[in-house]
Amino acid sequence: MHQTSHVHSRQTISSGYCKRCKTRHSLGSAKAIAGYHRLMAELDSEEATKDYLFGPARGKMFGVMECMQPDGSLITLRAFSGQYNGLWEVEGWVPPLFNVEDFFRISDKVEKQIKAIGREIEMLAPHSEPWLQLRKKRRQLSQALMRDIHNIYQLKNFHGATATLSQAYNNNNGIPTGTGDCCAPKLLNYAANHQLTPLGIAEFYWGRENRSASRQHGSLYSSCREKCEPILGFMLCGLNY
């Protein structure tokens, strides 16, 4: 039997510092709480979803965004973080910030090379010269692949400006793996590309508690500091609240 949902309806925000405006932009959850409850109920009604997200896959972050369309009517967008069951694109959910065909074209060949090098490394004596050289080669391939992948992310804001992940990221540290794949960037990018005006956003965790116990089933969370905040300043720019 799956655990009962315990909903925490505290207010949360998506926010980030904008280099262009030299100010912090933010979008709160108040106007997205109704959509959050609707999506929670929908997920609760799907046995396959319960089996997947309360099973070995553990849970996942989901998000909803209430938007106003150009004609004044309202629409609710929804997103999942990263991939869902190995898929980047699922009907009814907003897409990632990149063209999926481009992603696989860039990554498939290089990932096969990286895995092949990994198998070679396992057969060598640790810390031997060949072992060290192959580890260096694998690291260089991985770094080059990440740069290529970052360059296919296209982030659009509400001024109509577009930037790659590297251009939008506002932090001196390296870009963490998974940046741009959370719910808030996906939802904001879709809204900006379709002339929608965001009114509120709510991100929540659904399913089995994560391994670090930092995410609880049904709880709302603000945008993450490491991956989202450094790009949300750019993405929220142009929303004049």
- Residue-wise pLDDT for 196-221, tens only, equals 999 999 999 999 888 887 888 989 99
Q: What b/e readout covers 103-125, taking b as 16+ CB neighbours within 10 angstroms?
A: beebbeeeeeebeebeeebeeee
What is the tens place of the pLDDT at every residue in 39-72?
Answer: 999 999 999 999 999 988 889 999 999 999 999 9
Burial of 61: CB neighbours in 10 Å, binned 0-12, 13-18, 19+: buried
Would you say the pTM of this structure is higher than 0.75?
A: yes
For residue 6, is pLDDT > 50?
no
Under the banding of pLDDT at 50, 70 and 90, the label for residue 3 is very low
Q: Left (φ > 0), alpha (ψ -120 to 50) or beta: where does 178 sit?
A: left
